[in-house]
Structure 1
Amino acid sequence: MPVTEFDETECLFSNPKTGEKLRNYWGYSPLSFFAPKASYSSDSAHPLREFRDMVKTLHKAGIEVILDIVFNHTSEGGWGGPTTSFRGIDNPIYYLLDPQTREYLNFSGCGNTCNCNHPIVRTLIMDALHWWVIEMHVDGFRFDLASILGRDQNGNVLSNPPVVEMIAEDPVLANTKIIAEAWDAAGLYQVGHFSPHHRWAEWNGRFRDDVRMFMNGTPGMVAPLATRIAGSSDLYQHNGRRPCNSINFITSHDGFTLADLVSYNDKQNLANGENNRDGDNNNLSWDSGAPGPTDNPSVIALRQRRIKTMAAILFLSQGVPMLVAGDEFGQSQQGNNNAWCQDNAMSWLNWNLVEKNKGQVRFFRKLIQLRRKHAIFRRVNFFEVSNSDTPPTGQTILWQGLERGTEDWSEHVHTLSFLLKGSTIDDGDNDDFFIMLNGHPEQEALFTAPGPDAETGPCFWKKIIDTNEEAPEDILDLDRADCVAIGSRIQVKAMGCVVLQTAKKCSPKNRGRKRKKRR
């Protein structure tokens, strides 16, 4: 989240239960676009030096730094807010004002909206981006409520917003990553068409919503899920963009954590002091049969299965996966989906959960390892589409229903499987994968393992992932995985995922071996 200077004491709300004065914990309220938050530094006298040293150290470890940057509004807010800079310098240049009333137009939900396409404000934005790249050595930016960058001085949506084009074409920013949160707080939703420029990536809110709906049992979600898994070509292919333009996510800082997504039907925001009015009401969540904390073993097992299945969908889909810190070890915010003002244990990462939920952490680590090892999960271009009954030569994805050679996109269906033919590409390890997903909330499903393939002819599959199993049997290295013969029937539990990987040979000791669950 943002690292620019902000006033954490600006929050006007108190916890209604404890009376505690709440604080701005997230920082989406910039006082200056050029100043790192001094209190984030261990040496308040030299925050710039420390920030540079941090970035350089991360670079040495092979980690890029992408900043969450807020140009859509400032901490000055509406008329009731403080006057710290732009309002006193030239209010009608820096902010969008109603032509008649001269009130602030509020497309940000925070009281004011920056006039981003005014020449002076455009220059300010570009200067700030240059400063972070040249002086602080950062590698890219995620633009908060980026659709506001596309509005004119009256709030109308521009077809070719100057500042959006300038950011994409600027030579200083040529090697940076630029990512748009392609919507704003006034209902402008531009996912898939924020900008036709090939450099702009987007937070794919459609991916988030379609995965959530499939994984809460919503009917008619098999076809949309398949489109998201394949890289969202419906959103990005029409103007020459690629799967990497889709930043896939299921959760973000804004909303439920992954643990809360499977534990609550409704937001629990009373602690924010706004009588539960704040935060999104459309969470597309499901509590798995019991609200909040529970001792019910069947509910706990279903929640774990759903978390791992959603993680598998995220990391095995085309596009760039985004994971929220803490989701890998079960961080909860007690059902609060707007914890911006909770600078306390509700929001702080509980690192003790790493040991408590080490099996889940291992599952995420192994998924990341699998994705990095196999290029079939990181395709540069979209899959080739056939308009005939005969798949194109070398087609790398084949969709399947429960039976081999069949597809079922019916409204009532909750199951989807697909064959990824890594054997058709040269980059990385070239194994094939067969991935089975069951989005039914109660019923198990039986899939049939496909093959043999005319080109590669694998003799066996190996079951490397089964989200119904407990750690460490839920995800296995290939040499430890059980063999599955072609044509075998494979059980996938409700809300579960099973992944097979090709194996040319299968040791007898791995055939049909029964595993004991470890507790």
Structure 2
Amino acid sequence: MVPKPIPLLPAKPLAATNNISGFRVRPGLFLLNGANVVPGGVSFTIHSINATYCELCLFRRTQQEPFAILPFPDNFRIGNTFSMIVFDLDIYEIEYAYRMDGPNDPDRGLLFDKTKYLLDPYARAVTGQSIWGVNQTPGCSYHARVVEDIFDWGDFHDPHLPFRDMIIYETHVRGFTQHPSSGVKHPGTFEGLLEKLPYLLELGVNTVELMPIFEFDEMADERIVDGRQLLNYWGYNTVCFFAPNTSYTATPEFNHEGTQLKHLIRTLNEHGIEVILDVVVNHTAEGNEQGPFFSFKGLDNNIYYMLTPDGKYYNFSGVGNTLNCNHPVVRQFILDCLRYWVVEYRVDGFRFDLASILGRDTDGAPLSEPPLLESLAFDPILGRVKLIAEAWDAGGLYQVGSFPSWNRWAEWNGKYRDDLRCFLKGDGGLAWAAVQRITGSADLYPPSQRQNASVNFLTCHDGFTLYDLYSYDVKHNEANGWGNTDGANDNNSWNCGVEGDTTDPEVLALRDRLMKNAFAVLLCSRGTPMFLAGDEFANTQFGNNNAYCQDNEISWLDWSRLENHQDLFHFVSQMIAFRKAHPIIRGETAPARCGWPSVSLHNGAAWNAKMDEQTRQIGVLFTGRNQDDTADDLILLAVNSHWEAHWQGLPELPSGLRWSLVLHTACPDPFAAGPLFSGNGLQMGPRSVAVFHAVSGRS
């Protein structure tokens, strides 16, 4: 017998059970944090372990005094969670915040103050932040908005690029297009970045890593130095972890915040470009004892922050406070945050700023198996997103090669940056280290233990641009207002004989060659390559290696340099295409039929693996099967970092193959050198890189 279907009951609107301050209310959705729209109302949910009292404050748009205050009744609390549905709200006209009461004992880290308005940690949008560089509510508290999700993802498909196939392009949303030379309609915004999609496709990158886009306060620590307004431009001072930076939108998105960012992510993904967010979950904009008080300090200060025994703030972040990441409450909060960005914004991965903090215990001690890192590694929602650690912090913990992994975490390989910078400018004693970095840093990440762990880079937002790396011996951060004391001193840079700008054609030619050398080596190294936006057309920060506060031409990309450095741009684009065409560069493939090892050394001469303190010439041969698995693919990268020319011998190929010269940076047009090459060796110019490819034909 076929059972009769059970009829569905008609949906009933939620019914109010109380009246508070003239509003119909009822207990809310305790399992849904933040403000969530429900039939006829909004559910407001917040939790605190130590709070004894909580009230919801409702504001009219742009007003700083609440028009209604709704205390949570005792029966609207379960455990440590307060939740209330408020009916008949016009969500387009209201803003909200909380006030909490509880013990105030600073020595124990308890700072409850029932007079302070508190920003919802789970707020989807923060008010008063939508105009960049303008403090719209000076001296006032942060409020949150109720957000309705109206975005239609349609038939959405993530690219899901393998780690080894990624080519990461790190950029700042505002700085990418804010310069007048960018030529976009919406400079400094998500829309402006999207207008540059044709450029990104021509360049060939397939992953964009966005510097912080969580809501931050660029007005924090605003200063005037030499008549120039300095802001917190980079954004490493999170105000709210669930809210996108509304000043990055081209037009206001009242109550629909995030729509333009979602459009950007979906469109990039549709064109095969993944989006990684640089997330700052190690500290907040509340700072130390002298910092502002607007959210976590008034909720559970002694839980959310690492505190010393006398209630002060540990400062492993270098900017005042440190999130207590491995406390169960904070761990859950961070997990909720990342899950939200994956589900609601479909981001493809996260780069974690000062990630070693995420592995510290509640007292700051490093943990061998940090619960937070383990939770993120095995979380089912995060199961296919990229997790990339900046494996150090401001407290001196340096974990490159030893960051807890579970074979899920990749690392910014700071040793790749340091070793290759030194080797490429001609320092002695670095040949062995250079070979290790180029071949995948097996000394740091044994393939049998850690796969796809190394993110290789020579430049990033923090430090010199590539052009400045070969234009300045020392940093020039005077414009930051700290007497040039800020920023790193160990840059491993070289000015090629002249500090800063010059018209000397020999110096300019050398700098151009060194930049091409850097890109050739980076894009022929095993591991995931990453470079800083603008390096492909020699963008400069005028020697500033810590431009965190420079919202001006120091940090903005000057697109006029693209026209002046077209040859460099085309070189980088061709190198990216070459990397994509040869999987053996990106990682091991099926063994080559010729029987040669997958990696071998030819340092100046065929099969020569000898290296000493004077070695400044290396040759690395990658062998395996080609993209279609139809033939052997043999690629040899030769690097001569010496200031003199040297012969590079090539191994004798099996019958039917000959060596083709793909590029030689000693030539004015590196990719045009190939047709002139014939034989089993090349006289490499001073400070040059050559790439050879075995092709069919007679030698």
Q: TM-score, normalised by structure 1?
A: 0.90
Q: Residues 90-489 of structure 1 correspond to what in structure 2 (within 5 A)? A: 90-99=300-309, 101-237=310-446, 240-242=449-451, 244-380=452-588, 393-423=595-625, 427=629, 430-440=632-642, 442-452=643-653, 456-470=654-668, 473-476=669-672, 481-486=675-680, 488=681
User: 1:288 aligns to what SS in structure 2?
Assistant: coil
User: 2:330 aligns to what SS in structure 1?
Assistant: helix
> 1:382/1:129 Cα in 2 relative to 1: closer, same or farther (>3 Å)?
farther
Amino acid at match of 1:246: S
CA contact (8 A) 2:590 2:625 kept: no
d(CA) in 2 for partners of 1:379 and 1:433?
Answer: 12
d(CA) in 2 for partners of 1:265 and 1:331?
Answer: 17
Structure 1 position 73 matched with structure 2 position 283: yes
**Structure 1 spans left out of the alignment, 5+ residues:** 385-391, 512-519
Residue 53 of structure 1 deviates from its aligned partner by 1.6
d(CA) in 1 for partners of 2:421 and 2:212?
Answer: 26
Residue 404 of structure 1 deviates from its aligned partner by 2.2
d(CA) in 1 for partners of 2:234 and 2:485?
Answer: 19
d(CA) in 2 for partners of 1:254 and 1:420?
Answer: 32
**Structure 2 spans left out of the alignment, 5+ residues:** 1-210
Amino acid at match of 2:671: I
Counterpart in the other structure of 1:388: none
Structure 1 position 498 matched with structure 2 position 690: yes
d(CA) in 2 for partners of 1:151 and 1:201?
Answer: 18
d(CA) in 2 for partners of 1:164 and 1:398?
Answer: 36
Residue 49 of structure 1 deviates from its aligned partner by 1.5
User: 2:661 aligns to what SS in structure 1?
Assistant: strand
Residue 413 of structure 1 deviates from its aligned partner by 1.2
d(CA) in 2 for partners of 1:249 and 1:142?
Answer: 14
CA contact (8 A) 1:394 1:424 kept: no
Amino acid at match of 2:585: F
Counterpart in the other structure of 1:514: none
Deviations 1:195-217 (A, max 9, x none): 13111111000110110010122
d(CA) in 2 for partners of 1:358 and 1:21?
Answer: 33
Residue 459 of structure 1 deviates from its aligned partner by 4.5
CA contact (8 A) 1:220 1:412 kept: yes
Counterpart in the other structure of 1:85: 295
Deviations 1:430-474 (A, max 9, x none): 43222210112x21211112213xxx335432211111122xx21
Deviations 1:331-377 (A, max 9, x none): 00000000010000111111111121111000000000000001111
Residue 393 of structure 1 deviates from its aligned partner by 4.4
Residue 239 of structure 1 deviates from its aligned partner by 6.1
User: 1:234 aligns to what SS in structure 2?
Assistant: coil
> 1:380/1:393 Cα in 2 relative to 1: closer, same or farther (>3 Å)?
closer
User: 1:403 aligns to what SS in structure 2?
Assistant: coil
> 1:239/1:447 Cα in 2 relative to 1: closer, same or farther (>3 Å)?
closer
Residue 415 of structure 1 deviates from its aligned partner by 0.7
CA contact (8 A) 1:13 1:274 kept: no
> 1:336/1:381 Cα in 2 relative to 1: closer, same or farther (>3 Å)?
farther
Kindly tell me the number of residue pairs found equivalent between the two proteins: 486
More strand per residue: 2
User: 1:33 aligns to what SS in structure 2?
Assistant: strand
Of residues 413-422 and 253-262 in structure 1, the stretch that sits farther from structure 2 once superposed is: 413-422
Q: Extract structure 1 runs of 4+ deviating beyond 6 A.
A: 381-384
Residue 168 of structure 1 deviates from its aligned partner by 0.3
d(CA) in 2 for partners of 1:398 and 1:468?
Answer: 24
Counterpart in the other structure of 2:242: 34
User: 1:481 aligns to what SS in structure 2?
Assistant: helix
d(CA) in 2 for partners of 1:179 and 1:134?
Answer: 19
Q: CA RMSD in A?
A: 2.0
CA contact (8 A) 2:602 2:649 kept: no
d(CA) in 2 for partners of 1:136 and 1:435?
Answer: 40
d(CA) in 2 for partners of 1:347 and 1:414?
Answer: 34
Residue 421 of structure 1 deviates from its aligned partner by 2.1
Counterpart in the other structure of 1:62: 272
User: 1:503 aligns to what SS in structure 2?
Assistant: strand
> 1:274/1:374 Cα in 2 relative to 1: closer, same or farther (>3 Å)?
same
Q: Residues 5-16 of structure 1 correspond to what in structure 2 (within 5 A)? A: 5-15=215-225
d(CA) in 2 for partners of 1:91 and 1:369?
Answer: 51
User: 1:267 aligns to what SS in structure 2?
Assistant: coil
Q: Determine what percentage of the aligned residue pairs are the same residue.
A: 43
Of residues 297-306 and 206-215 in structure 1, the stretch that sits farther from structure 2 once superposed is: 297-306
CA contact (8 A) 1:375 1:429 kept: no
Counterpart in the other structure of 1:3: 213
User: 1:34 aligns to what SS in structure 2?
Assistant: strand
d(CA) in 2 for partners of 1:238 and 1:371?
Answer: 21
Amino acid at match of 2:677: C
> 1:354/1:424 Cα in 2 relative to 1: closer, same or farther (>3 Å)?
closer
Of residues 45-54 and 351-360 in structure 1, the stretch that sits farther from structure 2 once superposed is: 45-54
d(CA) in 2 for partners of 1:410 and 1:195?
Answer: 33
Residue 423 of structure 1 deviates from its aligned partner by 4.9
d(CA) in 2 for partners of 1:223 and 1:217?
Answer: 14
CA contact (8 A) 2:661 2:677 kept: yes
CA contact (8 A) 2:582 2:627 kept: no
Amino acid at match of 1:117: N
> 1:381/1:158 Cα in 2 relative to 1: closer, same or farther (>3 Å)?
farther
Residue 382 of structure 1 deviates from its aligned partner by 12
More helix per residue: 1
User: 2:228 aligns to what SS in structure 1?
Assistant: coil
d(CA) in 1 for partners of 2:258 and 2:428?
Answer: 52
Q: TM-score, normalised by structure 2?
A: 0.67
d(CA) in 1 for partners of 2:453 and 2:590?
Answer: 11
